[in-house]
Amino acid sequence: MPGRCLPVARNRFVQRAGCGRFAPSPTGDLHLGNLRTALISWLLARQDGAAWIVRMEDLDPVTSSTDFARSQLADLAALGMVSDRDVVYQSQRFALYRDAIATLRAAGVVYECYCTRREIRQAATAAHPAPHGELPEGAYPGTCRRLDQASRMRLQGDGRRPALRLLSEAGSIDFTDLIGGAMSGLVDDVVLQRNDGVPAYNLAVVVDDADQGVTQVVRGDDLASSTPRQIELQRLLGLRTPQYAHVPLVLGPDGSRLAKRDGDVTLARLAARGVTAGQVLARLGASLFDSDDGGVRRSVTIDELLARFSVAQLPTTRWRLSAAELNGDDLPRSLPRSQP
């Protein structure tokens, strides 16, 4: 869609030299899956001679905490990953995001949306034709696109505050993922600003990646469906698209996405069992390369992993942790075990 590029913002976010990033939300301690994604982003950046930075995605004041930001940074550092530049906090950058929304507004591609989540769910499942055919789950069906003035006044009179959405005409966007290869996704009218005034994830990520000169985006593959939306925003704002690498998620023994309820999956919990940072790196490394290190039986340094890292070898399927791995049954006998 080069024709819809908005040149207004082209020079606003200056691209710098190559840079990888890890962008956690400080809403809890990092678990093995998050640490593995961070490790891949670090290895990829280091191998390419690029900088590596951490960005705290603390847009949501209710779920984010500075304590978690601190513990996440400490855990990354314990494994040898320290941001090459000052850590940026999204909560301190709202002016930058609002600036980008103003650019989009000036181009006439922003509209107000008064829908509740429930209404969106209902409309999406009803017979209304979606604007672009089949849309990703949770996608917005375009209800408020052509809201007339009378309806808008009525909704405002009911005390509803609008979110801001992008008037998208992108349809489908293709991209090549470093891990997953050719990918394609439909783009809906993504939220730019929530109805409580907080800038939305996709907008903030696009603005920050450009502003920080990020050229490599490594993140979980649960976010791959957001990438076409982000590419559309980059095009509209005249920003470069980074290289994406979506890491297949780590799963617990039941096959669902790894979570803290699965047991000792955080560095602190593993440390309490006597598992060292070097052993965690060995376990993560064993999941990244074809290796017979035996996971926690060995200890490795992050530089040893770097020497062996090859993006071409990264597994393209999800990593399912066995119950034995989670219970620590594969730990060497000399390590202290937690009491039953």
CB of 63: closest distance to ligand GLU in angstroms?
11
Residue closer to ligand GLU, measured from CB, 209 or 262: 209
Q: Give 25 or 103: the residue with its C-beta nearer to ligand GLU.
A: 25
Beta bridge partners of 183: 175
| Nearest approach, Cβ of residue 71 and ligand GLU (Å) | 14
Of 100, 51, 301, 290, give the one whose Cα is nearest residue 204.
100
- Please give the full DSSP string across 4-53, using - where no structure is assigned: G--GGGTTTS---S-EEEE---SSS--BHHHHHHHHHHHHHHHHTT-EEE
On whether the CB atoms of residues 18 and 209 are closer than 8 A, the answer is no
Q: Which residues bind ligand GLU (CB under 6 A)?
A: 23-25, 57, 205, 219, 223
In sequence order, which residues have a C-beta less than 8 Å from that of residue 225 and are 6 or more positions away? 136, 185
Distances (CA, A) of 154 to 73, 141, 148, 158: 47, 21, 10, 6
User: At residue 271, what are phi and psi to the nearest 5 degrees?
Assistant: -60, -35
Q: Work out how close the CB of 320 gets to ligand GLU at its nearest, in angstroms, rounded to a whole number.
A: 20
Kindly state the smallest distance separating residue 217's Cβ from ligand GLU, in Å. 6
CA angle 19, 21, 25 (to 5 degrees): 160
Bridge partners (DSSP) listed for residue 110: 166
How many CA atoms lie less than 13 Å away from 147 in the CB half-sphere?
21
- Select 26 or 162, whichever has its Cβ closest to ligand GLU: 26
C-alpha Rg value of the chain to the nearest Å = 22
Closest residue (Cβ) to ligand GLU?
219
> Shortest Cβ distance from residue 232 to ligand GLU (Å)?
15
Query: What are φ and ψ of residue 250, in 5° steps?
Result: -90, 135
Q: Rank residues 128 and 260 by Cβ distance to ligand GLU and give the closer one.
A: 260
CA 153/CA 128 separation, integer angstroms? 24
Least separation in angstroms between CB 57 and ligand GLU: 4
Q: Distances in Å between the alpha carbon of 67 and those of 55, 71, 143?
A: 15, 6, 40
Residue 193 or 279 having the CB closest to ligand GLU: 193
Measured from the CB atom, the residue of 40 and 155 that comes closer to ligand GLU is 40
State the minimum distance, in angstroms, from the CB of residue 209 to ligand GLU. 8
Measured from the CB atom, is 40 or 166 closer to ligand GLU?
40
Minimum CB distance to ligand GLU smaller for 242 or for 263: 242
* Minimum distance of ligand GLU from residue 223's CB (angstroms): 6
